[in-house]
């Protein structure tokens, strides 16, 4: 993949961001696909040379790898014969090469498509779906109305993806209309979100910083899609190095602008963890708050005991100190409120206090506490213990306060000394369970572990949880005797009243009574392993609903989550480790398809579990397992070899150190689970060269054993390994180099597909290499190289003479593939190697042979050689019925057509549309080619295509008088033939404004050609003539109307003797004159006035002009 956008290549997959690629720093891949006649860079660049995919998008999505894919979508001057299928296949191959790492393949993928790019992306999804791969999330900008089959096939695939469709709202200035209407730009899927952009077809793909608001939907939608990507596609890794970027990403979201974070009692962590947390938040706050592009104001508050390191390491941190005076005021307030509450609940104490000074008690406790709030709390609780109260008892308690030690540990010593010695054994057992537990326990859980600890059974026996006798009313007993030291939470859990008491116990036991801690750890581990061992009999109970879980089995989930943590506290040679190994056959591990060692390695080497135990101790445990008879290979089980395979897939130092240990202890390097990848492939995919080297050098490793994909070790090395590792394997062992995988690829095929030239050279040196093996699509290694246009690799293979077997009908010809890509130099090398044998036998997907492609590339000298030296069929047709002469005429390859005609190519063969070569040349407008075919003398000018058009029809569209003269000189030519639409050749000449196309004859000369080419004046004169004729006709009509009215008036007149009577009675007022006829609403032509002396007519003026399709056409025209 090209790394810079200024390279001369236009086609391929180019990386725009980041400049230096680190897979661990990228969360999503974005691939941009340009449209028809587009460019991988110019499509996304505005007039200011702002390539927004590179210059702007990373500011919004910094953790994205952004690429642009270029393909030959030009309409003009393109020699490519690739189809949408080929573009999509090329895209998939390049994406597979760029996303080889497992973490990269799990990374979400977004397609950003413009115009035809949406069709290419859909086709790629279809191919990936058929091949069983998933390529993430897609966003399509516009789709094509014409490719219904791709849309129909992709609808189901797209239904599970997130789709954003942006559609244009401005017409393109050159056309005055929208290039893609909204109904075509939107897919119409329920999971699609359509967003309008106020731009035209070109500008929609060019997001400029000069118009930030216009393209805000693009920025925000892409960012939202990345932030809400499917979390199941991500690899969970909770190491601090991974979590800090996650926290930063969360805090940088738009809805986290004003955030306040409080971290309480940070000093309870160890010093290193405390330092890392403070430094991590400090870096995040500083980067977000000081970024001028963001409006974030993040604030973090830490509460801690006094520590000088914060101010030293982080000078920008504001430190607020709570001094002794502040604490003493809080202590006094606490004691005052507590004393008032105790007086309210204990009347005897209230009477005693009435005779004493409460301020003296408060001041003594405050003074002795010396600013330690915890000491004051414990001292007051100890002061209140007692049943009887009077003035003497109260004064005695006040005296005892003066003798109470001021430190917290001495205070705890004094409190524990007051416990009845007969209760201390059970007290230590109960407290030790609370101290070693990994989370707060409930009463039933504590009762179960306490019963195991106090039982009389062998301490290594794993009792069935259902057989353990629990202690009833444990909470009441504890509350009665240890109320000051134990607290009960609302969720039913029981904890120490303060963390300092737990620290006191652990410190005291570690120095004075280590047997208490050891016994607690062993018995807690026993209780957990009992659940693992007896999982089958306990699985009938629900562990997801506490209401349905029996009280006797409350420890179930705790044992599943924390059994290894308790085991890790025991020495590596402790017998309970062997008990753990014996649980491998339990239903629990079987249901998880794991083994005890799987769980151990996962907790030791993944995420948080680097702290579970050191790697050396983990290895000692493994040795103890094997010495006890543990089978590392599990040959008879479904997950045979799973332990070694798990470590080969592990990404970390601990896994890399464990692989040689497992091999040393007898693990088989050739075994792996049936549904997993081979061990060597797993190590190579994760770039663990040291692990792969150990596997290859192991004496039991078989490099010729194939995996579930049919691939051998050599396949894996070619795809993921280094050149040195491949050369070492070829030199050191008898490796089978001709193994074919499920798709028929040999290692040589794979080296060609991965463009590894040095590996190809090395494989060709192996004496047993076979170059005639074909893959499932019928391609030899050489054919594969030419198929993808890999010229340099093809030339390397050509050096081997056995690379040129005669191709079968079902195989792909390297010569044909090279010609299809227009690789002239490669074809000139390949053609003599074939010895001109059967070169016309192989066809591409469209049915074209070598002669077709040679003609389309205008390689006339090679065509001549083939026709002279081979048995190729000069009139071979493809699936559309076209011969080589058809395509030569269509593309104007005159010299190639000359050679074909010299060797007898037929000029009368018709394609699926019924067109011959001469008609193809006329349609494409290549005069020289057409003249060449006409001069051949075998052209039938009267031959008609499926639309009924002969050569005269097609030639009428050319402004070439000599061509038409040559056609008309042929005997029997019919220049007056009508096509299926009833049009004459002259109609096409008229439509194309070809004045000299047809020789004028008196009975065919319908048109005034001078008037045609003076159309404006001719129309004006014609309009004037029509207007004058209509005026004359109107005047005559008006005269006739007046005559008729006079006749009717005369007929209505009474005789002369009665006329005087009518005059007498005609005294009524006269009627208003009739309104003039209305003016036509939709006419663009004025109508004549009704004024006297100007005859009117309500209709528009019309005149007729000839139409080449229908004979005549009517026009509305003003006079």
Residue 893, domain CATH: 1.25.40.20
Q: How far apart are CA 157 and CA 134, in angstroms?
A: 10
Domain boundary (389, 417, 445) is at 417
- Cα 1071 to the center of its chain, rounded Å: 85
Query: Is position 731 within any domain?
Result: no
- For residue 997, what are the domain limits? 955-1006
Least confident among 166-170, 240-244, 1040-1044: 166-170
Handedness of CA 36, 37, 43, 46 (dihedral sign): negative
Whether 735 is in a domain gets the answer no
Question: Residues 793, 760: contact at Cβ < 8 Å?
Answer: yes
Winning range, highest mean pLDDT, from 505-514, 627-636, 881-890, 1012-1021: 881-890
Among 713-727, 882-896, 993-1007, the minimum mean pLDDT is found in 993-1007
Is beta strand 109-113 parallel, antiparallel or unpaired with respect to 64-70? unpaired
> Does residue 795 lie in a domain region?
no
The candidate with the shortest Cα–Cα distance to 608, out of 276, 240, 245, 244, is 240
Say which range, 1-5, 128-132, 246-250, has the weakest mean pLDDT.
Answer: 1-5
Summarised one tens digit per residue, pLDDT across range 3-15 is 444 445 778 899 9
Which range scores top for mean pLDDT: 154-163, 355-364, 396-405?
355-364
CB 304 within 8 A of CB 267: yes
Residues 184, 159: contact at Cβ < 8 Å?
no
pLDDT at 512 over 80: yes
Measured CA to CA, the distance from residue 583 to residue 380 in angstroms comes to 51
Reduced to 3 states, what is the DSSP secondary structure of residue 229? Answer: coil
pLDDT-derived band at 62 (thresholds 50, 70, 90) equals confident
pLDDT at 652 > cutoff 90 = no
Residue 1102 has pLDDT above 50, yes or no: no
CA distance 650 to 615: 14
In this structure, is residue 722 part of a structural domain?
Answer: no
Residues 340 and 361 in one domain: yes
pTM over the 0.85 mark: no
Query: Same structural domain for residues 169 and 305?
Result: no
User: Which residues are CB-contacts of 273 (< 8 A; sequence separation ≥ 6)?
Assistant: none
Q: What is the DSSP string of 128-139?
A: HHHTT------B
Confidence of residue 365 (pLDDT cuts 50, 70, 90): confident
- In tens, the pLDDT along 606-649 reads 654 346 788 899 999 999 999 988 888 886 667 788 899 989 98
On whether both 1016 and 1110 belong to a single domain, the answer is: yes
C-beta of residue 36 within 8 angstroms of C-beta of residue 102: no
Q: Which percentage of the chain shows pLDDT scores above 70?
A: 73
> Cis (ω within 30 of 0) for the bond into 18?
yes
Q: Are residues 515 and 642 in the same domain?
A: no
Where residue 993 falls among pLDDT bands split at 50, 70, 90? low
Where on the phi/psi map is residue 15: left (φ > 0), alpha (ψ -120 to 50), or beta? beta
Cα(133)–Cα(105) distance, integer angstroms? 10
**DSSP3 helix / strand / coil % (the chain, rounded to 5):** 50, 5, 45
In this predicted structure, what is the pLDDT of residue 80?
Answer: 57
Q: How many CA atoms lie within 13 A of 751 on its CB side?
A: 29
The token duo for 162 is: 């997130």
Q: How far apart are CA 671 and CA 691, in angstroms?
A: 15
HSE, CB side, 13 Å, CA atoms: give it for residue 713. Answer: 25
The reply to whether 463 and 496 lie within a common domain is yes
Same domain, 272 and 351: no
Q: Which residue has the tokens 């000093």?
A: 267
Per-residue confidence band for 1079, with pLDDT thresholds at 50, 70 and 90 = very low
775: which residues sit within 8 A by CB, 6+ positions away?
740, 743, 744, 745, 749, 784
In sequence order, what are the beta bridge partners of 1107?
1111
Question: In this structure, are 122 and 45 located in the same domain?
Answer: yes
Q: DSSP alpha helices (H): ranges in 41-132?
A: 52-55, 57-60, 84-98, 102-105, 116-130
Rounded-to-integer distance, Cα 946 and Cα 70, Å: 38
pLDDT tens by residue, 1059-1074? 433 333 333 344 444 4
> Which residue would you say has higher pLDDT here, 329 or 590?
329
Per-residue pLDDT averaged across 383-387, rounded? Answer: 77
3-class secondary structure per residue, 603-625? HHHCHHHHHCCCHHHHHHHHHHH
Q: What are 296-309's pLDDT values in tens digits?
A: 778 888 887 766 55
The stretch 1030-1040 carries a mean pLDDT of 87
Q: Say what the pLDDT of residue 66 is.
A: 92
The partner residues of 192 in beta bridges, in order of sequence, read 163
β-strand pairing of 297-302 with 258-263: parallel
More confident call, 220 vs 430:
430
Residues 144/186, Cβ–Cβ less than 8 Å? no
- Give CA–CA dist 652/686, Å, rounded: 10
- Indicate if the alpha-carbon torsion angle 344, 348, 354, 360 is positive or negative: negative
User: What span, in angstroms and rounded, lies between the C-alpha atoms of 17 and 573?
Assistant: 52
| pLDDT for residue 90 is more than 70 | yes
Q: How does 357-387 read in b/e, with b if 16+ C-beta sit within 10 Å?
A: eeeebbebbbebbebbeebbbbbbebbeeee
Classify strands 1102-1107 and 163-168 as parallel, antiparallel or unpaired. Answer: unpaired
pLDDT higher for 82 or 1101?
82
Q: Which of 279-288, 507-516, 682-691, 929-938 has the lowest mean pLDDT?
A: 279-288
Q: In this predicted model, what pLDDT tens digit does every residue of 656-681 receive, in sequence order?
A: 899 999 999 999 999 988 888 899 99
Region 714-735 average pLDDT? 90
Three-class DSSP category at 257: coil
Domain end residue (candidates: 555, 585, 613)? 555
CA distance 924 to 917: 11
Would you say 780 and 771 are in contact if contact means Cβ atoms under 8 Å apart?
yes
Of residues 664 and 186, which shows the higher confidence score?
664
My answer on whether 1033 and 986 are in the same domain is no
* Mean pLDDT, rounded, for 19-38: 85
Distance between first and last Cα of the chain: 69
Mean of the pLDDT values across residues 47-53? Answer: 81
Sign of the torsion angle spanned by Cα atoms 692, 695, 701, 705: negative
Nearest to 734 by CA among 718, 752, 712, 749: 712
CB neighbourhood size of 132 (10 A) = 6
Q: Are residues 893 and 992 in the same domain?
A: no
Per-residue model confidence (pLDDT) at position 528: 85
Highest mean pLDDT among 598-602, 715-719, 935-939: 715-719
Q: Is the pLDDT of residue 590 over 50?
A: yes
- In this prediction, residue 395 carries a pLDDT of 81
Contact 459, 449 (CB under 8 A): no
Measure Cα distances from 532 to 10, 12, 569 in Å: 61, 55, 18
Helical ranges in 240-298 per DSSP H: 240-251, 271-289
Q: 855-892 b/e with 16+ CB inside 10 Å = b? A: bbbbbbebbbbbbeebebebebbbeeebbbbbbbbbbb
**DSSP 8-state secondary structure symbol assigned to residue 1073:** P
- Three-class DSSP category at 258: strand
pLDDT greater than 60 at residue 1085: no
283 shares its domain with 339: no
Q: Which DSSP string do the residues of 367-378 spell out, in sequence order?
A: HHHTT-HHHHHH
CATH code, 30 = 3.40.50.1820
Pairwise CA distance, residues 365 & 386, whole Å: 18
Residue 610 lies in a domain: yes
**pLDDT exceeds cutoff 90 at 749:** yes
**CA triplet 1016, 1020, 1021: central angle to 5 degrees?**
120
Is 787 among the domain residues? no
Cβ-contact 246, 252 below 8 angstroms: no
Rounded Cα distance, 116 and 118, in Å: 5
Cα–Cα distances in Å, from 945 out to 293, 911, 950, 992, 1109? 66, 9, 7, 20, 19
What is the rounded CA–CA span in Å between residue 333 and residue 328? 9
Using left for φ > 0, alpha for ψ between -120 and 50, and beta otherwise, residue 362 falls in alpha
Q: Which of 67-81, 231-245, 330-344, 740-754 has the highest mean pLDDT?
A: 740-754
Q: What's the pLDDT tens digit per position in 131-141?
A: 544 333 333 33
Average pLDDT over residues 104-119: 82
Integer angstrom CA distances of residue 983 from 989, 1013, 1108: 11, 21, 7
Q: Rounded distance, CA 633 to CA 352, Å? A: 77
Q: How many structural domains comprise the chain?
A: 8
Q: Within a domain: residue 572?
A: no
Mean pLDDT of the chain: 76
> Is the distance from CB of 957 to CB of 922 less than 8 angstroms?
yes
pLDDT in tens, 250-260: 887 777 778 88
User: pLDDT band at residue 1114, thresholds of 50, 70 and 90?
Assistant: very low
**Domain termination site, one of 939, 963, 984:** 939
Least confident residue range of 90-94, 514-518, 1077-1081:
1077-1081
Q: What is the DSSP letter of 822?
A: T
Compute the average pLDDT of residues 455-482: 71
Residue 1002 has pLDDT above 60, yes or no: no
Residue 92, CB-side half-sphere exposure with 13 Å CA sphere: 22
- Residues with Cβ within 8 Å of 244's Cβ and at least 6 positions away in sequence, in order, are 280, 284
Do 986 and 847 reside in the same domain of the chain?
A: no
Please give the full DSSP string across 164-206, using - where no structure is assigned. Answer: EEEEE-S-BTTTTB-SS-HHHH----TTEEEEEESS-TTGGG-
Same domain, 438 and 381: no
Give residue 240's pLDDT: 65
204 in a domain, yes or no? yes
Which tens digits make up the pLDDT trace of 274-290? 778 888 888 888 877 77
User: How confident is the model over 780-803, as a mean pLDDT?
Assistant: 84
Tell me the C-alpha distance between 379 and 402, whole Å. 11
Instruction: For residues 831-855, give the mean pLDDT.
Output: 87
| Residue 483 binned pLDDT confidence (cut-offs 50, 70, 90) | low
């Amino acid at each position: 993949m090209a790394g810079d956008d200024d390279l001369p290549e236009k086609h391929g997959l180019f990386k725009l961001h980041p400049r230096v690629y680190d897979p661990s720093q990228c969360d999503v891949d974005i691939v941009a696909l340009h449209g028809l006649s587009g460019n991988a860079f110019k499509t996304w660049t505005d007039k200011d040379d702002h390539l927004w995919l590179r210059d702007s998008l990373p500011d919004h999505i910094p953790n994205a790898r952004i690429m642009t894919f270029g393909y030959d979508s030009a309409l003009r001057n393109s020699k490519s014969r690739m189809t949408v299928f080929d573009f999509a296949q090329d895209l998939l191959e390049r994406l597979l090469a760029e996303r080889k790492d497992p973490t990269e393949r799990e990374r979400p993928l977004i397609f950003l498509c413009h115009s035809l790019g949406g069709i290419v992306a859909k086709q790629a999804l279809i191919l990936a779906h058929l091949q069983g791969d998933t390529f993430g999330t897609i966003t399509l900008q516009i789709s094509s109305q014409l490719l219904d089959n791709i849309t129909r096939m992709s609808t189901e695939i797209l239904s599970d993806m997130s789709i954003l469709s942006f559609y244009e709202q401005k017409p393109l200035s050159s056309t005055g209309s929208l290039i893609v209407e909204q109904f075509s730009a939107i897919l119409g899927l329920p999971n699609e979100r359509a967003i309008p952009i106020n731009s035209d077809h070109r500008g929609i793909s060019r997001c400029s910083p000069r118009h930030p608001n216009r393209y805000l939907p693009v920025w925000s939608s892409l960012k939202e899609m990345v932030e809400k990507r499917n979390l199941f596609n991500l690899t969970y890794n909770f190491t601090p190095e991974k979590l800090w970027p996650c926290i930063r990403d969360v805090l940088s979201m738009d809805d986290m602008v004003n955030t306040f974070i409080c971290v309480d009692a940070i000093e309870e962590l160890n010093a290193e963890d405390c330092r890392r947390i403070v430094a991590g938040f400090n870096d995040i706050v500083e980067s977000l708050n000081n970024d001028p592009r963001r409006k974030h104001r993040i604030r973090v508050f830490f509460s801690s005991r006094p520590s000088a390191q914060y101010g030293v390491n982080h000078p920008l941190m504001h430190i607020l100190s709570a001094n002794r005076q502040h604490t003493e005021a809080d202590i006094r307030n606490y004691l005052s409120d507590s004393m008032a509450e105790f007086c309210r609940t204990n009347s005897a104490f209230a009477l005693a206090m009435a005779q004493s000074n409460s301020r003296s008690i408060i001041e003594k406790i405050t003074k002795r506490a010396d600013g330690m709030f915890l000491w004051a709390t414990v001292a007051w609780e100890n002061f209140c213990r007692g049943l009887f109260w009077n003035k003497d008892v109260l004064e005695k308690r006040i005296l005892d306060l003066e003798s109470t030690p001021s430190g917290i540990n001495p205070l705890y010593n004094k409190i524990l000394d007051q416990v009845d010695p007969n209760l201390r054994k059970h007290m230590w057992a109960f407290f030790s369970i609370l101290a070693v537990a990994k989370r707060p326990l409930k009463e039933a859980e504590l009762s179960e572990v306490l019963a195991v600890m106090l039982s009389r059974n062998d301490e290594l026996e794993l009792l069935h949880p259902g057989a353990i006798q629990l202690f009833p009313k444990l909470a009441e007993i504890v509350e009665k005797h240890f109320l000051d030291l134990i607290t009960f939470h609302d969720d039913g859990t029981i904890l120490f009243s303060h963390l300092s008491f737990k620290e006191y116990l652990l410190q005291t036991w570690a120095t004075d009574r280590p047997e208490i801690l050891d016994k607690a750890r062993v018995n807690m581990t026993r209780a957990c392993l009992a659940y693992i061992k007896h999982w089958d009999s306990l699985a009938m109970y629900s562990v997801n609903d506490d209401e349905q879980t029996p009280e006797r089995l409350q420890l179930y989930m705790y044992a599943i989550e924390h059994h290894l943590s308790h085991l890790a506290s025991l020495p590596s040679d402790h017998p309970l480790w062997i008990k753990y190994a014996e649980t491998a056959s339990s239903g629990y591990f079987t249901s998880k398809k794991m083994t005890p060692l799987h769980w151990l390695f996962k907790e030791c080497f993944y995420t948080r579990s680097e702290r579970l135990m050191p790697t050396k101790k983990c290895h000692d445990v493994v040795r103890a397992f094997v010495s006890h008879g543990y089978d590392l290979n599990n040959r008879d089980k479904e997950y045979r070899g799973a332990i070694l395979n798990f470590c080969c897939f592990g990404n970390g130092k601990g896994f890399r150190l464990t692989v040689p240990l497992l091999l040393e202890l007898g693990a088989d390097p050739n075994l792996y689970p049936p549904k997993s990848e081979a061990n060597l492939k797993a190590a190579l995919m994760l770039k663990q060269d040291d692990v792969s080297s150990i596997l290859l050098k192991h004496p039991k490793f078989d490099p010729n054993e194939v995996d579930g994909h049919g691939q051998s070790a050599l396949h894996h090395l070619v795809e993921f390994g280094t050149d040195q590792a491949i050369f070492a394997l070829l030199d050191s062992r008898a490796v089978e180099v001709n193994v074919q995988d499920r798709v028929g690829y040999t290692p040589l095929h794979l080296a060609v597909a991965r463009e590894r030239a040095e590996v190809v050279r090395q494989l060709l040196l192996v004496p047993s290499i076979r170059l005639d093996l074909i893959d499932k699509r019928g391609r030899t290694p050489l054919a594969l190289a030419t198929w993808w246009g890999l010229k340099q690799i093809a030339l390397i293979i050509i050096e081997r003479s056995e690379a040129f077997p005669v191709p079968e009908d079902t195989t792909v010809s390297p010569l044909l593939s090279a010609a299809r890509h227009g690789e002239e130099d490669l074809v000139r090398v390949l053609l003599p190697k074939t010895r001109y044998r059967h070169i016309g036998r192989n066809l591409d997907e469209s049915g074209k042979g070598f002669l077709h492609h040679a003609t389309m590339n205008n390689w006339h000298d090679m065509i001549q050689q083939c026709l002279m030296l081979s048995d190729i069929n000069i009139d071979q047709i493809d699936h559309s019925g076209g011969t080589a002469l058809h395509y030569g005429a269509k593309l104007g390859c005159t010299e190639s057509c000359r050679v074909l005609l010299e060797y007898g190519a037929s000029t009368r063969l018709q394609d699926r549309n019924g067109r011959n070569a001469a008609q193809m040349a006329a349609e494409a407008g290549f005069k020289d080619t057409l003249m060449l075919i006409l001069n051949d003398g075998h052209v039938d000018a009267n031959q008609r295509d499926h639309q009924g058009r002969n050569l005269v029809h097609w030639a009428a569209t050319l402004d070439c008088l000599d061509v038409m003269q040559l056609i008309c000189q042929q005997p029997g030519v019919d220049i007056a033939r009508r096509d299926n639409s009833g049009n004459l050749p002259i109609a096409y000449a008229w439509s194309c404004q070809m004045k000299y196309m047809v020789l004028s004859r008196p009975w065919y000369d319908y048109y005034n050609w001078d008037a045609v080419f003076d159309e404006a004046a001719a129309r004006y004169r014609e309009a004037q003539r029509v207007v004058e004729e209509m005026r004359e006709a109107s005047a005559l009509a008006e005269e006739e109307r007046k005559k008729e009215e006079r006749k009717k008036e005369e007929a209505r007149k009474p005789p002369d003797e009665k006329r005087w009577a009518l005059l007498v009675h005609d005294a009524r007022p006269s009627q208003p004159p009739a309104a003039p006829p209305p003016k036509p609403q939709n006419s663009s032509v004025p109508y004549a006035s009704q004024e006297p002396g100007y005859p009117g007519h309500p209709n528009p003026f019309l005149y007729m002009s000839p139409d080449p399709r229908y004979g005549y056409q009517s026009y509305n025209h003003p006079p």
